[in-house]
Chain A
Amino acid sequence: TQLLEQSPQFLSIQEGENLTVYCNSSSVFSSLQWYRQEPGEGPVLLVTVVTGGEVKKLKRLTFQFGDARKDSSLHITAAQPGDTGLYLCAGLESSNYKLTFGKGTLLTVNP
């Protein structure tokens, strides 16, 4: 089973700050997904990146897939309290089409 390491594990920032969270693996994934999970709810898909080097933007969120398709990053500009949640990355194993999740980054944005 391929492993995904997410860092930092916890992040607490003030509203308006920028931040980047990382998702790293020693293995290659055919695609990588980012989810946000709020307390008491299931994860919600934010984006899927497929091509090495791909960059996708979703309003203030920028997602990048590493050139070698082993790592990814999520950058949030001018964070808002509504961005608070657990951010999970998940890699798709091309051999068996299973999603492997990282343990997540718990982000708190303070007003």
Chain B
Amino acid sequence: DSGVTQTPKHLITATGQRVTLRCSPRSGDLSVYWYQQSLDQGLQFLIQYYNGEERAKGNILERFSAQQFPDLHSELNLSSLELGDSALYFCASSGGIAGGETQYFGPGTRLLVL
């Protein structure tokens, strides 16, 4: 158990819909990272937040957005969903700001868009 929790574990929705994925980091960790994992693209970095502020951006689509709240939990919002958005979405956390620190991954949310 990494100490990072993600909800929901599974999500099935339809094209065009909007969903919100939730992540609670390990106690004391200030950074939250979001990743998307698919068979063809592998694990892709989406975005990092540090203590409530956006820190780094990766291959995140404009239809996707994230935020980190004062209690440090984070949400990833996916809108206008397409079939190709079906993937595993992971949240990770670390204590500091640098991406090279040890990142602790949650169990992931499996999203299926029909």
Count of inter-chain pairs, beta carbons less than 8 A: 60
Distance in angstroms between the alpha carbons of A27 and B45 in the assembled complex: 18
Q: Are B98 and A97 in contact (CB under 8 A)?
A: yes
Q: Are B45 and A98 in contact (CB under 8 A)?
A: yes
Main secondary structure of the interface of B (DSSP, over half): loop
Residue B86 at the chain A interface, CB threshold 8 Å: no
- Chain B hits for A92, CB < 8 A: 99-100
- Chain A hits for B99, CB < 8 A: 92, 96-99
Q: Are B102 and A100 in contact (CB under 8 A)?
A: no
A:55-111 near B, CB below 8 Å:
88, 90, 92, 96-104
Minimum CB–CB distance from B99 to chain A (whole Å) comes to 4
Residues of B within 8 A of A (CB): 2, 4, 35, 41-45, 48, 56, 58-59, 90, 92, 97-100, 102-108
Residues of A within 8 A of B (CB): 1, 30-31, 33, 40-45, 48, 88, 90, 92, 96-104
